[in-house]
């Protein structure tokens, strides 16, 4: 998925400023897509230049919300119906797990315990976001689908972390495994 599509999805739901979009990337979209403000603002300008969004009048605290245009909605519809999703996935936690044989079991356990707590905290946050949805809103009904995917993914990572901690508890210290 490209950043531009993520921005169009957010703006299609309701007009948003760059600041508002940053909060969405740190909240509801965190498990799906990450973007820094240094990426968001230039892409918003490009989308506006291409006529896919337009700036509204200045709002509270000097924020300038963007709204989607008909051309932006058409681009989103095309993306949803005529392109296939990119299923590639990057997960640094899982990548690191492939290298945990290089550290002592207690160090591996500490890493995995940190991951377990991270995923538990994210799960609590995602549940709070889900509880705050207004299911009378079409955008929030669709957001429920994405949030539920995130909740299930976090639950799977929690289950995996717990299993991995139990598994690592059976590993011998490095000295013993190196001589074997």
Give the model's confidence band at 31: pLDDT under 50 very low, under 70 low, under 90 confident, else very high: low
Tell me, what's the pLDDT at 164? 98
Asked if CATH classification 3.40.50.2300 holds for the domain at 3-82, the reply, yes or no, is no
Instruction: Calculate what percentage of the chain has a pLDDT beyond 70.
Output: 94
Domain residues of the chain, as ranges?
3-82, 92-179
If you average pLDDT over residues 127-150, what whole number do you get?
A: 91
pTM for the structure as a whole: 0.74
The 3-state secondary structure of the chain reads CCHHHHHHHHHHHCCECHHHHHHHHHCCCCCCCCCCHHHHHHHHHHHHHCCCEEECCCCHHHCCCEEECHHHHHHHHHHHHHCCCCCCCCCHHHHHHCCHHHCCHHHHHHHHHHHHHHHHHHHHHHHHHHHCCCCCCHHHHHHHHHHHHHHHHHHHHHHHHHHHHHHHCCCCCHHHHHHC
């Amino acid at each position: 998925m490209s950043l531009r599509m993520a921005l169009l999805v957010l703006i299609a739901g309701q007009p948003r400023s760059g600041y508002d979009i940053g909060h969405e990337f740190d909240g509801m979209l965190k498990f799906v897509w990450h973007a820094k403000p240094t990426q968001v603002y230039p892409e918003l300008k490009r989308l506006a230049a291409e006529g896919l969004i337009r700036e509204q009048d200045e709002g509270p605290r000097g924020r300038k919300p963007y709204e989607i245009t008909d051309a932006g909605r058409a681009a989103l519809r095309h993306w949803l119906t005529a392109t296939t999703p990119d299923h590639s996935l990057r997960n640094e936690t899982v990548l690191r797990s492939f290298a945990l044989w290089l550290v002592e079991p207690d160090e591996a356990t500490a890493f995995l315990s940190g991951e377990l707590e991270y995923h538990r905290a994210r799960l609590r946050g995602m549940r709070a976001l889900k509880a705050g949805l207004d299911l009378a809103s079409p955008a929030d009904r669709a957001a429920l689908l994405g949030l539920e995917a995130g909740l299930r993914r976090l639950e799977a990572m929690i289950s995996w972390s717990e299993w991995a901690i139990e598994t690592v508890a059976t590993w011998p210290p490095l000295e013993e495994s190196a001589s074997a």
